[in-house]
Amino acid sequence: MIRIEGLRKTYRSAKRNVVAVDGVDLTVAEGEIYGVIGTSGAGKSTLLRCVNLLERPDAGTITVDGTELTSLPGGELRRARHGIGMIHQHFALLSSRTAAGNVALPLEVTGVGRAERAERVAELLDLVGLGDRGGAYPAQLSGGQKQRVGIARALAGRPKVLLSDEATSALDADTTGSILSLLQDLNRRLGLTILLITHEMGVVKQACHSAAVMRAGRFVEAGPVADLLATPGSELTRGLFPLGPVPDVPGSTVVDVTVSGSHADDALLADLVRTFDVDVRILSGAVEQLAAVRAGRLRLAIPGPDAGPVIDHLRQRGVLAEIAGSSPATTDAREGVEP
C-alpha cells in the first residue's frame, strides 16, 4: 500500500546541512499498522511528511495505493493526497470551530454539499465515539477527545492510508491506550493502513504489526514484529522488553531468553530444571500480549560457569537464548530505543 524506495532528505541552510533521512526503503502492506520508532531527531517526522509530500525528498520514490506520488504534477498530487489522512501530536484543530466544524473542513474544501456534509460529519463523529459532542469547541474537549476529532477529520475523505505523527505523545497512558484501540478498530473495520511514528515502545507493543527502528536518518532494523522478536540482537526486542543492566551473579551465568508465538507459554523453566537438574532463577522479565504476537523476554541465572548446554538446548527448541550483554548491538542500558 505504501512503498518507499531510496528516500533521502537534507535540510540545507547557510550554516549547515542536516541529513534528516538517509536512504530509507519501506513497504507497508495493505491493512497493516506499521510503526517507526526512534529517539528525537532520528528523522521520523521528516520521513512521515515525505509520504504525502508535505516535505519534498531530494531522492527516492513514494508510491501510495499504486500511484507514484513523486512523479505527479500539482493538481493530481492534491487529489492523491485525499487518499491519505494525517493526524498530529497537538491535534491541529481550529479553536474557532466546533468539533463538527473541524471535521467538516476537508469536506468543504473538496466541495461536498451542505446536506451530505452534515450527514457525513455525524457519521464520522459517531465512528470515533463523539456522536454527542459535535457542538463542543476544542477548548471544551479533553486531549483524547480532541485527538478523536482529529481522527474523524483525517477520515473525512475516506482515505485508505492514515499517517500518524506522534498522535499519542501529548496524552496520558490511559488515553493513549484508548486512542490506540480506536486506531486498531478503524484498521480492522475499514481496512485502513496506518503508518505511525512514535518514540514510545508502548505504542509499538499495543498497536503495531510491523516496525522499524530509526536512528540518524536510517532504519537500523525493520520488519514484522514477530520476525524481529526472532532475530538475535534485535534492538526492537530489547526496547519492547528492557531487562536493565546485567547484574553480577556470583557462581552463575546470566542468560537472556526471548520467547514468542507458541513458545511464549511453554513451561521453559520446568523443562530446564528437569533436563539439567539445576536451580534456574528469574532475575527480570515479562511476557505480554503484543498486537502481533504473544511474546516476552526473561533474564535467567543458570548455576555454573558454562551455560552453553542450556543455551543450545533452548535454541534447539526454537527459543532465542544468549549470554546477557553478549550481543554486539547497543545494550538495554545504553543509547538506542527508549523503553
Ligand X SMILES: Nc1ncnc2c1ncn2[C@@H]1O[C@H](COP(=O)(O)OP(=O)(O)OP(=O)(O)O)[C@@H](O)[C@H]1O
Q: Minimum CB separation from ligand X for residue 275, in Å?
A: 46
Residue (42 or 236) nearer to ligand X, CB: 42
Instruction: Sort 172 into a burial class: Cβ within 10 Å, 0-12 / 13-18 / 19+.
Output: exposed
Residue (170 or 246) nearer to ligand X, CB: 170
Q: Minimum CB separation from ligand X for residue 46, in Å?
A: 3
Is the separation of the CB atoms in 208 and 292 below 8 Å?
Answer: yes
Could you list the residues that contact ligand X (CB under 6 A)? 11, 18, 20, 38, 40-46, 199
Instruction: Sort 165 into a burial class: Cβ within 10 Å, 0-12 / 13-18 / 19+.
Output: buried
C-alpha cell at 34: 506499521
Q: Helix 114-127 vs helix 99-109: angle between axes, to the nearest 10 degrees?
A: 130
Q: Minimum CB separation from ligand X for residue 197, in Å?
A: 6
Residue (41 or 247) nearer to ligand X, CB: 41
Q: Minimum CB separation from ligand X for residue 277, in Å?
A: 50
Q: Minimum CB separation from ligand X for residue 18, in Å?
A: 4
User: DSSP for 39-74?
Assistant: -TTSSHHHHHHHHTTSS--SEEEEEETTEEGGG--H
Give the integer Cα–Cα distance in Å for 2 and 47.
12
Residue (124 or 167) nearer to ligand X, CB: 167
Q: Minimum CB separation from ligand X for residue 187, in Å?
A: 23
Residue (11 or 181) nearer to ligand X, CB: 11
Classify 244 as helix, strand or coil: coil
Residue (46 or 70) nearer to ligand X, CB: 46
Give the integer Cα–Cα distance in Å for 206 and 37.
13
